[in-house]
């Protein structure tokens, strides 16, 4: 069967405008009108959307060999580099992921708990009572520092400088494709992005060279140490210095862009749902009392876990993700031609009424007694290419929300929020909030804390 989809040029133009503003909402509209498989776009900008859990399973698990990432994710190369995992395929991807895998094991991520607590507390302590704060922008500061300190340890004190450079390049790749003019002239976005990429390389490469020159391995290796120490089957270094640089920078960029966006939506939902924040505050008081957050305590905060999962359901870090079809195949009775740019969408799947009762309502309780069916919940992708840093991201979100609920009372300073962004879905207006009260650092009471 031929691909269903819009028939007239003006329909494609209208759809293109919507997709440029909010890809997730555009794909949701396509699903409502045409079903789980739909073709759209004109000329070289032709796409096929495959939507829903069956499509997720097909792309992520059953037939990954039908797709390539490199062509689909090439827009990230100015930030992440030519050899980053996200733009790698086949054996190159397997080798690079294997070298980094142990750095993101749960036991190793738990070691970063104190870094997370200290950075989030320091940031929240700087928010003035009675003041107005853009929480989206502000929280990216500690998230950057947590990520850089976790990757580099305390030996590289350039988190803010590195973050500033990455902000510039990420800002460029987040532009719509037709606004990404690669004109290297002073004052252009591309010129600034290249300069920022050069400064990023300078910082990271200097640290790589310093580590390579060390006579012995550190007692407590960080992520960079693990990447540098990785060896292949013959005992040779598994990654070149360029590959190490690209893995490090791509991990930093992905972390603070996606975690920052998810954190802003979580706070928005807490501010919008009084009963949710009261229940979360009571749980924190019961589990922690006046004590400091610990790894064991994190495991006992079931309702906070549910808040994180519900945030990732409604506002997945990557709302839409592309793949390039390498050969013609059939799905759901529809033929998808080779060369198609195929899109799947966690956002669309997570909002399907047939899968999630009251899909547009924030209900953490749905996570307390049931588990979702396979491929109905894919905030970090799935299969062998599931996001390598998902435990790191989830732990940061839990720590941030716990520290926020225990330290500040906030109020919305906005009427509504518009979800925008590729690949990370963030509030287009930022997240303006007012600090109405500062709480005791470790309250025992169950009073409302956000």
Helix 241-272 and helix 189-212, axial crossing angle in degrees, nearest 10:
120
Question: How many domains does the structure of the chain reveal?
Answer: 1
pLDDT more than 90, % of the chain: 59
pLDDT tens-digit profile of 36-74? 999 987 766 788 999 999 999 999 999 999 999 999 998
Average pLDDT of the chain is: 88
| 23-37, 141-155, 218-232, 278-292 — most confident range | 278-292
Minimum mean pLDDT range among 78-82, 108-112, 183-187, 295-299: 183-187
User: Does 52 map to a domain?
Assistant: yes
How many angstroms separate the CA atoms of 446 and 364, rounded?
18
Helix 274-288 and helix 241-272, axial crossing angle in degrees, nearest 10:
110
pLDDT more than 70, % of the chain: 93
Structure tokens at 70: 């490199």
Q: Any idea of the CA torsion for 120, 141, 134, 416, to the nearest 10 degrees?
A: -90
pLDDT tens-digit profile of 151-204? 777 655 666 777 778 778 877 776 666 667 778 878 888 888 888 888 888 988
Residue 247, pLDDT above cutoff 80: yes
CB contact set of 90 (below 8 Å; sequence gap of 6+):
none
Q: Pick from 171, 137, 175, 135: which is nearest to 21 by CA?
A: 175
- Give this prediction's pTM: 0.91
Beta strands 419-420 and 408-412, pairing class: unpaired
3: left (phi over 0), alpha (psi -120 to 50) or beta: beta
User: Does 25 map to a domain?
Assistant: yes
Q: What is the distance, to the nearest Å, from the Cα of residue 74 to the centroid of all Cα atoms in its chain?
A: 17
How many angstroms separate the CA atoms of 48 and 4, rounded?
10
Confirm if 50 and 325 have CB atoms less than 8 A apart: no
- DSSP code, position 154: G
- How far CA 277 is from CA of 270, 274, 404, 442, in Å, comes to 5, 5, 11, 16
Identify the band that residue 411 occupies on the pLDDT scale cut at 50, 70 and 90: very high
Containing structural domain, residue 265: 9-438
Structure tokens at 208: 């790589």
What is the per-residue pLDDT for 443?
45
Minimum mean pLDDT range among 191-200, 255-264, 311-320, 416-425: 416-425
What is the per-residue pLDDT for 447?
37
Beta strands 426-427 and 432-438, pairing class: unpaired
Q: What three-state secondary structure class fits 171?
A: helix
Q: What three-state secondary structure class fits 213?
A: coil
Minimum mean pLDDT range among 4-18, 197-211, 389-403: 4-18
Mean pLDDT along residues 17-22? 73
What is the per-residue pLDDT for 257?
80
CATH number, domain containing residue 313: 1.10.630.10
User: Does 60 map to a domain?
Assistant: yes
User: Does 212 map to a domain?
Assistant: yes
What is the per-residue pLDDT for 318?
87
What is the per-residue pLDDT for 17?
74
User: Does 80 map to a domain?
Assistant: yes
Q: Bridge partners of 434?
A: 132, 411
Confirm if 420 and 397 have CB atoms less than 8 A apart: no
User: Does 109 map to a domain?
Assistant: yes
Write out 411-439 in H/E/C secondary structure: EECCCCCCEECCCECEECCCCEEEEEEEC
| 124-133, 189-198, 213-222 — most confident range | 124-133
How many angstroms separate the CA atoms of 283 and 265, rounded?
21
User: Does 382 map to a domain?
Assistant: yes
User: Does 410 map to a domain?
Assistant: yes
């Amino acid at each position: 069967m031929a691909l269903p989809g819009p028939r007239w040029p003006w329909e494609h133009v209208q759809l293109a405008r919507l997709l440029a503003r909010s890809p997730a909402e555009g794909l949701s509209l396509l699903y409502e009108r045409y079903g789980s498989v739909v073709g759209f776009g004109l000329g070289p900008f032709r796409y096929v959307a495959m939507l829903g859990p069956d499509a997720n399973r097909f792309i992520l698990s059953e037939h990954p060999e039908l797709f390539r990432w490199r062509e689909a994710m090439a827009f990230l190369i100015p930030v992440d580099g030519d050899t980053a995992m996200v733009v790698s395929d086949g054996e190159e991807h397997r080798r690079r992921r294997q070298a980094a895998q142990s750095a993101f094991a749960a036991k190793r991520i738990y070691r970063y708990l104190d870094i997370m607590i200290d950075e989030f507390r320091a940031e929240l302590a700087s928010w003035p009572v009675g003041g107005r704060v853009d929480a989206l922008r502000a929280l990216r500061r500690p998230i950057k520092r947590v990520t850089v300190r976790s990757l580099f340890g305390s030996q590289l004190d350039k988190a803010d400088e590195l973050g500033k450079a990455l902000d510039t390049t990420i800002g460029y790749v987040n532009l719509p494709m037709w606004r990404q003019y690669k004109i290297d002239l002073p004052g252009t976005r591309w010129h600034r992005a290249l300069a920022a990429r050069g400064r990023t390389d300078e910082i990271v490469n200097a640290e790589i060279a310093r580590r390579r020159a060390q006579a012995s391995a550190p007692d407590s290796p960080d992520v960079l140490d693990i990447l540098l120490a990785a060896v292949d089957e013959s005992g040779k270094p598994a990654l070149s210095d360029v590959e190490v640089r690209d893995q490090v920078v791509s991990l930093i960029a992905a972390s603070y862009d996606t975690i920052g966006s998810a954190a802003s939506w979580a706070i928005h939902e807490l501010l919008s749902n009084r009963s949710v924040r009261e229940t979360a505050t009571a749980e924190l008081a019961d589990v922690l009392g006046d004590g400091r957050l610990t790894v064991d305590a994190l495991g006992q905060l079931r309702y906070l876990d549910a808040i994180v999962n519900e945030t990732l359901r409604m506002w997945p870090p990557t709302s839409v993700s592309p793949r390039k079809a390498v050969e013609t195949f059939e799905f759901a009775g529809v033929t998808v031609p080779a060369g198609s740019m195929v899109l799947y969408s966690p956002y669309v799947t997570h909002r399907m009424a047939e899968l999630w009762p009251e899909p547009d309502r924030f209900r953490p309780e749905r996570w307390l007694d049931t588990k979702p069916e396979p491929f109905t919940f894919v905030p970090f992708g799935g299969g062998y290419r599931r996001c390598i840093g998902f435990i790191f991201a989830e732990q940061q979100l839990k720590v941030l929300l716990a520290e926020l609920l225990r330290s500040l009372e906030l109020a919305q300073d906005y009427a509504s929020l518009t979800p925008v962004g590729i690949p990370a879905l963030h509030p287009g207006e930022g997240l303006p909030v007012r600090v109405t009260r500062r709480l005791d650092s470790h309250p025992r009471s169950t009073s409302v804390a956000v």
